[in-house]
Amino acid sequence: MESDISSTSSGSPRYSVPSTSSDSPLRRTRGGVHKRGGRGRGRAKGQTRATGLGRGRGRGAVPVPLPTIETAEQRKDRIKEYIEQLSEEQAKDLLFRAVDKQPGLMFDLIDKVQPHGVPQDYHPQPGSSPAWCLCGNCREMPTLLERVCCNFSPENCTSRLPYMDQYVLEEGVLRIARTYRREVLVYPEDGDEAKANRHAAYRQFVMWQHGKLGAGVRRVVPSCCVWRIRDKFTDPFGQYTGFNTGRIG
């Protein structure tokens, strides 16, 4: 190849442009002169750098398998298999621990095995409660609609269950429920503390026993439970709103 610098007849140096023939190792592009044999213009559509499955971080990258997620049904089956392998003493110990953590749940489970409805030969003592009451803890109510009993025997009355104390009468639970209703749902609250707690307790009871109700749907709280709530959050004048189709109070 010729030298890039040659002399002219006048003796001054002259620069020559390199050849761009097919034999030259250089080729001219829009951005300048590049060496032949460099990177290609790009990969074909869909082509990846890694030789493994999917997109890798380098050549020959090995894909990492995703962890297997256990479904709720699989978890239940695994727990059942574990229980079946327990001895009688181990099963009793497990139940005793469950009672310590969730006593109300154990009451509900016992009800499934041995319903605690009122025995056929049970009759409340005359004068101790209204004639329509079976649990022995109800009191007379002003309207026919409110004359509702839990229909359980005295020792299993709903108003005496542990959940009644934990979910309905606990002031800390009611405070949180009232705050949520006031700050999130933007409902006005009664100025009187005892009245606000009574209304919150009625709502807690309905949620506990019936779950979420549709718009306009109401449930009457049994008289025994109503008076349990009123005895806890008493009105000094004995003035109570009672049940109506628009609100429980």
Q: Rounded to an integer, what distance in angstroms lies between the CA atom of residue 221 and that of residue 48?
A: 67
Give start and end residues of each alpha helix (H) in 156-192: 162-163, 171-179
Please report whether residue 106 resides in a domain: yes
Q: Are 4 and 22 in contact (CB under 8 A)?
A: no
pLDDT for the residue numbered 104: 60
Q: Whole-prediction pTM value?
A: 0.51
pLDDT digits (tens, 9 = 90+) for 230-239: 999 998 887 7
Give 1 or 135, the one with higher predicted confidence.
135
Q: Are 169 and 160 in contact (CB under 8 A)?
A: no
pLDDT for the residue numbered 100: 77
Please say whether the dihedral angle defined by the alpha carbons of residues 31, 33, 39 and 45, taken in this order, is positive or negative: positive
Please report whether residue 1 resides in a domain: no
Least confident of 51-55, 173-177, 188-192, 214-218: 51-55
Picking from 30, 14, 124, the residue whose alpha carbon sits closest to that of residue 3 is 14
Q: Are 147 and 132 in contact (CB under 8 A)?
A: yes
Please report whether residue 134 resides in a domain: yes
* Confidence at 11, pLDDT banded by 50, 70, 90: low
Residue 139 has pLDDT above 90, yes or no: yes
Residue 186 has pLDDT above 70, yes or no: yes
Amino acid, res. 247: R
pLDDT digits (tens, 9 = 90+) for 148-163: 999 898 888 999 988 8
CA 165 to the chain's CA centroid: 23
Picking from 83, 84, 76, the residue whose alpha carbon sits closest to that of residue 98 is 83
Q: Burial letters for 58-74: b for 16+ Cβ neighbours within 10 Å, e otherwise?
A: eeebeeeeeeeeeeeee
3-class secondary-structure state, position 33: strand
Q: Rounded to an integer, what distance in angstroms lies between the CA atom of residue 71 and that of residue 74?
A: 5
Q: Could you tell me the residue range of the domain that residue 184 belongs to? A: 91-249
Please report whether residue 162 resides in a domain: yes
Task: Please tell me the total count of domains within the chain.
Answer: 1
Q: Are 71 and 80 in contact (CB under 8 A)?
A: no
Please report whether residue 30 resides in a domain: no
* Confidence at 120, pLDDT banded by 50, 70, 90: very low
Picking from 151, 153, 169, the residue whose alpha carbon sits closest to that of residue 208 is 169
Q: Are 145 and 243 in contact (CB under 8 A)?
A: yes
Q: In the predicted model, what is the mean pLDDT of residues 126-149? A: 87
Please report whether residue 9 resides in a domain: no
96: its two tokens: 């005793």
117 forms bridges with which residues in the sheet?
152
Please report whether residue 25 resides in a domain: no
Q: In the predicted model, what is the mean pLDDT of residues 101-121? A: 57
pLDDT for the residue numbered 132: 93
H/E segment holding residue 91: helix 88-101
Please report whether residue 231 resides in a domain: yes
